A and B are shown apart, each in its own frame.
Chain A
């Protein structure tokens, strides 16, 4: 496996379910991200992890719970979601750098539908 992988690719869940999204990066990066992409909205940054530590939480509802056990893996735990949470959830990673400039690498995304 190369790059950034995400599983599952598609997920349908009820509002009372609990599920988790998984992301794995094989690039040796130290930062990982969760984004939400909804129709008619710009890409929204949800969470940022640097060296396994959460450094950003952009006012995301508590029904989304991230977990980063190591620099290569990132999870997004979901519970009691709402239909408006239906979206494409993208994971990304980037190398740690104090000078920036290398950008982020994205996974294929998980298409989530909440019924």
Chain B
């Protein structure tokens, strides 16, 4: 059975601190996506990672993909309150966007 596992599921951190969210998956894929969801809102695309070793950065967030280890990370640098949200990783197992499997999400709370 395909599994997409995120950890931690809940993360509370202080402003200014660094932390990493992990996404492990159990099938062969070189397409991985990170989404952000604010409470009561939809999913917003953050990063698209399309090959082994891909690294993308946007502001205080940086995502990477290791397809051999079947692992993606989302690193948070010097967290700020505005980053509080739930973050999902998703693995595309269909090669045409049609079958994306999502992790359970990591609920991040950044405290002053």
Cβ proximity bits A47-77 to B, threshold 8 Å, 1 near / 0 not: 0101000011000000000000000000000
Do the beta carbons of A42 and B43 come within 8 Å of each other? no
Do the beta carbons of A103 and B95 come within 8 Å of each other? no
**Interface residues of A, dominant DSSP:** loop
Distance between B24 CB and nearest chain A CB, rounded to angstroms: 14
Please give me the residue from chain A that is nearest to B92 by CB atom. Answer: A100
On chain B, the residues within 8 Å of A100 by CB distance are 31, 92, 94-97
Please give me the residue from chain A that is nearest to B48 by CB atom. Answer: A103
Interface range on chain A (Cβ under 8 Å from partner): 20 to 34
Interface range on chain B (Cβ under 8 Å from partner): 20 to 34
Selected contact of A56 from candidates B48, B88, B99, CB within 8 Å:
B99
Q: Which residues of B6-37 are within 8 A (CB) of A?
A: 31, 33, 35
Interface residues of A (CB under 8 A from B): 31, 41-43, 45, 48, 50, 55-56, 90, 94-109, 111
